[in-house]
A and B are shown apart, each in its own frame.
Chain A
Amino acid sequence: GQSLEQPSEVTAVEGAIVQINCTYQTSGFYGLSWYQQHDGGAPTFLSYNALDGLEETGRFSSFLSRSDSYGYLLLQELQMKDSASYFCAVSANDYKLSFGAGTTVTVRA
């Protein structure tokens, strides 16, 4: 099976940078995804890494190290609207995603 660990909460001020780490254990690893979920809403896809390195999409970047079974999501220039839960998820050699428990990011003025 798969297991993922990520911090439960992170708090930061507007304009700051936040890094959310995710470590995983899985067999048949394909890639690591990140999803954002605002309170009471649907999760939405943010990024995906299949190869080692950094992927940048606007203010958000995601990193993967396959050898370390580790990845992170970097949120830059934090805005109030970034207050949400962020989930890492691994995809293995099937069509399923296994999600972490989520990290609640609170942005303060």
Chain B
Amino acid sequence: DGGITQSPKYLFRKEGQNVTLSCEQNLNHDAMYWYRQDPGQGLRLIYYSQIVNDFQKGDIAEGYSVSREKKESFPLTVTSAQKNPTAFYLCASSPRTPIPHNEQFFGPGTRLTVL
């Protein structure tokens, strides 16, 4: 089955620790995205990548870092510089074409709690 996987589903970390969230897709999509969702709020874009070895900052990139070394993988690191890291993190992917109908396919999410 094609899809997007995120692991783990729940993650707990101590304040001051960096943590990396996994996102893998086998849909052969070029574009991948990371969103943050806080309770009762919409999705805010952290980083996105349109092609391997290239990525751009979204609206709330401070305190986060990403890499895109393989087409199918787009890991997100939440660094100790992120002041409020506790949130629900969603990864998505989409084909670069056709444009403009860039439907995004989402993974199940990782709920990060920083203690």
Q: How far is the CA of A87 from the CA of B50 in the complex (A)?
A: 23
Q: Nearest chain-A residue to B90 (Cβ)? A: A42
A33-B106 contact given A87-B42, A95-B96, A101-B41, CB 8 Å threshold: no
Which residues of A does B touch, CB under 8 Å? 1, 8, 30-31, 33, 40-45, 48, 50, 87, 91, 95-102, 104
| Chain B residues within 8 Å of chain A by Cβ, number | 27
Complex CA gap A76/B41 in Å reads 25
Cβ-based interface call for B31 (8 A): yes
Selected contact of B101 from candidates A8, A50, A98, CB within 8 Å: A50
| Minimum Cβ distance to chain B for residue A5 (Å) | 11
Are A91 and B102 interface neighbours, CB within 8 A?
yes
Q: What's the Cα separation between A44 and B90 when bound, in Å?
A: 12
- Closest residue of chain B to A6 (Cβ to Cβ) is B42
Chain A nearest CB from B4 CB (Å) reads: 8
Question: Is the Cβ of A43 less than 8 Å from the Cβ of B41?
Answer: no
With beta carbons under 8 angstroms apart, the residue of B31, B41, B103 that contacts A33 is B103
Alpha-carbon gap, A48 to B104, bound state (A): 11
Q: In the complex, which residues of chain B have a beta carbon less than 8 angstroms from the beta carbon of A30?
A: 99-100
Sorted nearest first, the 10 A-B pairs with minimum C-beta distance are A30-B100, A42-B106, A99-B42, A101-B42, A99-B43, A45-B103, A43-B106, A95-B31, A102-B42, A42-B108
- Tell me if A95 and B41 are in contact (CB < 8 A): no
Q: Which residues of B contact A96 (CB under 8 A)?
A: 33, 45, 48, 58
- What CA separation (Å) do A30 and B108 show in the bound complex? 27
Q: Is B85 an interface residue (CB 8 A)?
A: no
Chain B's closest residue to A102 (CB) is B42
B residues less than 8 Å from A95 (CB atoms): 31, 48, 50, 94, 96, 99, 102
As a 0/1 sequence over residues 73 to 115 of chain B, the CB contacts with chain A under 8 angstroms (1 = contact) are: 0000000000000000010001010011111111111000000
CB distance from B94 to the nearest CB of A (A): 7
Query: Can you list 24 A-B contacts (CB < 8 A)?
Result: A30-B100, A42-B106, A43-B43, A43-B106, A48-B103, A50-B100, A50-B101, A87-B42, A91-B100, A91-B101, A95-B48, A95-B50, A95-B96, A95-B102, A96-B33, A96-B45, A99-B35, A99-B43, A100-B42, A101-B41, A101-B42, A102-B40, A102-B42, A104-B40
